[in-house]
Amino acid sequence: MRLLVVAIGRLKNGPERDLAARYRERAVALGKSLGVTACDLTEIPESRARRAADRVAEEAAAILALVPADAAVIACDERGRSDWPSERIAEKIGGWRDAGRGSLVLVIGGADGLHESVRGRADHILAFGAATLPHGLVRVLALEQVYRALTILAGHPYHRGDPEA
């Protein structure tokens, strides 16, 4: 399975970009032993359309053009579900991998959110809580959760989880 993070906008050099890169590199290194061949990041320029609806539609077309037909898709969206713990994310990623899904695409939309066509294509819509977060932090959170999911699948001690479970 190939992991791909598709994000609208480019992170400038700084702590968010460095931390995102660190988690991506960790995911790549650990993923090899789990049948995960890559963890790529594609940044799509923000649309310059005047109306928000047009921007979201243009960005959606660019996002969907990068999603392979057999891919599982997790869309990060503030309107998504925030009730999936890390163990559930790991379970889903492992299940998609074991079912032969060739790719997992994590989508992070632009400032105006995600178009319904992207939300409709998603296998899961994930929210990192009710608050609106900066895109740089969402990218870090998404990549950290990918890495955490891989550590759970590998039985690595990074994720301590619930000792009662």
Annotated binding site for S-adenosyl-L-methionine: 109
Q: Is 7 helix (H, G, I), strand (E, B) or coil?
A: strand
Cα separation of 108 and 42, whole Å?
A: 10
- Pair 67, 73: CB distance under 8 Å: yes
Question: What residue numbers does the annotated binding site cover?
Answer: 109
Beta-ladder partners of 113: 110
Task: Please report which helix (H) or strand (E) contains residue 53, including its range.
Answer: helix 52-65
- Pair 104, 70: CB distance under 8 Å: no
